[in-house]
Structure formats: C-alpha cells, structure tokens
Amino acid sequence: MPAAPESPHLLIPFAGRGTPECRKALHGLRLPGLEALLSRLSPVHEDLQDESTLSPPHERALAAALGIAAPDGQIPWAALEARRAGLDGAVGEEGGWGIATLCHWQVGIDDVLLGDPGAIRIDAAESEALLAIARPYFEEDGIALHATSTPGRWLVRGRMFDGLATASIDRAIGHPIAQWSPLSDGARPLRRLQNEMQMLLYTERVNDERTARGVPPINSFWLSGTGHLPLDAAPMQTGPQVADGLREAALRDDGAAWAQAWATLDAGPVAELLAAYNAGARVMLTLCGDRAARRFGVEPRGLAGWARSLFQRASAPAVLETL
C-alpha cells in the first residue's frame, strides 16, 4: 500500500503589516501562487488579538502548532531551547529561563528606541567578550548566563524570571523601550540590570572598535522568551516550516523590500506547498500579521465548491489586509 501523503504546514510571519510603507505596497502585490492556494484551501482557524499583545500572532501560531499553551508574553521559548540543549538540569541553577538579546538602544530627545539586533552585526568574538564582561553582574542578581550558537543571543536563568511576562523582540523593535518593557514590581531588578549594562558597555573596548568601524555600539539587552515549561512536558510536535523572509523588511517598514520578499516567497515555499497540494497532500498554510493569524487547510467542499474555486480566485492583498 502506498504511503499516505505528508501534511506539510507553512507558517509565514509578517504576511500582513500595518506600517505605512508596507500598507502602501500591499495592494500592488502580485502573488499567483498564494492566490492559487487560497482558492483551494478553506479557513480553518483564526487567532485575532490586537497589536498590544506581548506575543505576536506568529509566535502564538507556532506555539499552538507545537502543542504549547501559554499566557501572553510567557511562551517558554528559552526554556524549550534550554531543554533541547540539555541545559535545564545544570547543577546550582534555579528559576525561570529567558533570552537576552544584545542590542542598541537609540537615545532620542523624548524616547529611547530599540534598534534591530539583526542590523548591527554582532560577531562571535564580540559576543564572547561581552558575555565575560557581563557575567559577574548577572551572577550578582542570581542569573546564570549561557552562550548560544547565535552571537549576541544568550540564554539566562534566574528566579526573577519566574512568572515574568515579556514582550517579543519582534514587537519591540523600532518602538520606545518604555512601551514594551515589563513595568511590574517584580521587573525592577531587570530594569536596573539593563541600566547597569548601558553604563558598563558604554566604555568597553568592543564598542570603541565598533564606533571606529561606523557601526552602532552594543549598549544593552532585551529580555524575551520567558515562560514555564513543565518538567514532564510531552515531546514537542513536529513544527511547521517557518518562512521568515519577510521579517527584516517588515521591521524596517521597507515596502519595496517587503514586496520583493513576498515575490520570492511566492515563487519558493508557497509554490512548493501548492505543488504538495496538487500531489495530494493535506497541506496547511498559516498567514500572520500584526493582529491575527489565519490558518487555511484542506476541507471537503463538494463539486460546487470545487467548480467555484476554478473561477473565483481569492485576492491575496484582501486576505493579507485582514491580518
């Protein structure tokens, strides 16, 4: 007996974007692959929130696909990564996990903005040097630091992270720090530590060298990914393919680059998903924006529905605008 077709699932973050330039670019998109898929698939789930949620739609959708249920701002990405790396049993460490991402805080006249860490090109040597400098200060607050394979991105563990809801860095980039920083009394040690890092890193040789090269200094960190992962949690389900090609342009609100990235996605992962559908697979497609995640799947529609799908193509911009 032939094997049953696989059930590929494609998840696209920043498929819709409410920022000015991306909105302008939206109605000029020509996405034949996406429109062909949407005409064949049916809406099966919608997660509609608002733009004030700490966890953006694409993170909520990915957590749901992995079988993780968590409150807003407490999807345990750090704890999950630590478990996969075998770090959660480290001797002498206690408390919750988080992800500390080195970044550049842009000090303006009225606000301090969070710059995109991906745009400041932190290399492995800089990350290691700054980790050695920062470690004693974190340890004074009972926080253990662990390097990851991504320069400028550390796993942190300490009691101050227990029950602490934090905003995804994808929410905070380009916005005032105060808008997304946790303001609870329990977050005071975190805010103090961030300020200490600002003062400490300001005079470090790493930043002198970066300034000489004309790149922004690394002057603080952003905490995200906090949340509790039970010790007896079942193994995570196989996750969807996450097509992250829209992220950089969306965060910069570069409408032309976002449109080009969409065209690349349409000719690549979207076309591959359409081919899988045509081969008989029960595919799923999840489109995520600032406010909503909408999942589309294969549902029985009968002969009339199939006939309509041949002549009534869904408008991709109209669907993306709802996100």
What are 86-123's pLDDT values in tens digits? 887 665 678 899 999 999 888 777 788 888 888 888 88
Instruction: Give the three-class secondary structure for 23.
Output: helix
Q: Average pLDDT over the chain, rounded to whole?
A: 87
Tokens of residue 12, six digits: 């696209």
Mean pLDDT of the region 205-233 = 84
Rounded to whole angstroms, what are the CA distances from 215 to 61, 121, 253?
35, 8, 21
Nearest to 297 by CA among 311, 281, 313: 281
What distance in Å separates the CA atoms of residue 99 and residue 224, rounded to the nearest whole number? 5
pLDDT category, 236, cuts 50, 70, 90? low
pLDDT category, 4, cuts 50, 70, 90? very low
User: What pLDDT is stored for residue 90 in this prediction?
Assistant: 67
pLDDT category, 303, cuts 50, 70, 90? very low
How many whole angstroms from its chain centre is CA 169?
7
Q: Residues with Cβ < 8 Å from 17, sequence gap 6 or more?
A: 23, 26, 246, 250, 253, 258, 289, 290
Kindly tell me if the per-residue pLDDT of 304 is higher than 60: no
294 with 287: CB under 8 angstroms?
yes
**What's the alpha-carbon Rg for the chain, to the nearest Å?**
22
User: What pLDDT is stored for residue 313 in this prediction?
Assistant: 58
Lowest mean pLDDT among 68-72, 132-136, 208-212: 208-212
Residue 268: HSE in the Cβ half-sphere, 13 Å Cα cutoff: 13
User: What pLDDT is stored for residue 296 in this prediction?
Assistant: 95
Kindly tell me if the per-residue pLDDT of 11 is higher than 70: yes
Pairing of the two strands 105-107 and 241-242: unpaired
Tell me which DSSP letter residue 176 carries. Answer: B
Lowest mean pLDDT among 24-38, 48-62, 97-111, 125-139: 97-111
Rounded to whole angstroms, what are the CA distances from 146 to 95, 128, 135, 166?
14, 10, 9, 19
Rounded to whole angstroms, what are the CA distances from 251 to 15, 244, 260, 264?
12, 12, 15, 18
**SS3 per residue for 226-293:** EECCCCCCCCCCCCCEECCCCHHHHHHCCHHHHHHHHHHHHHCHHHHHHHHHHCCCCCEEEEECCCEE
288 with 257: CB under 8 angstroms?
no
Rounded to whole angstroms, what are the CA distances from 21 to 12, 28, 34, 259?
19, 12, 21, 10
| Residue scoring higher pLDDT (311 or 135) | 135
Kindly tell me if the per-residue pLDDT of 310 is higher than 60: no
**Degrees to nearest 5, angle at CA 72 with 148 and 127:** 20
Q: Which residue has the tokens 């009968």?
A: 302
| Residue scoring higher pLDDT (319 or 91) | 319
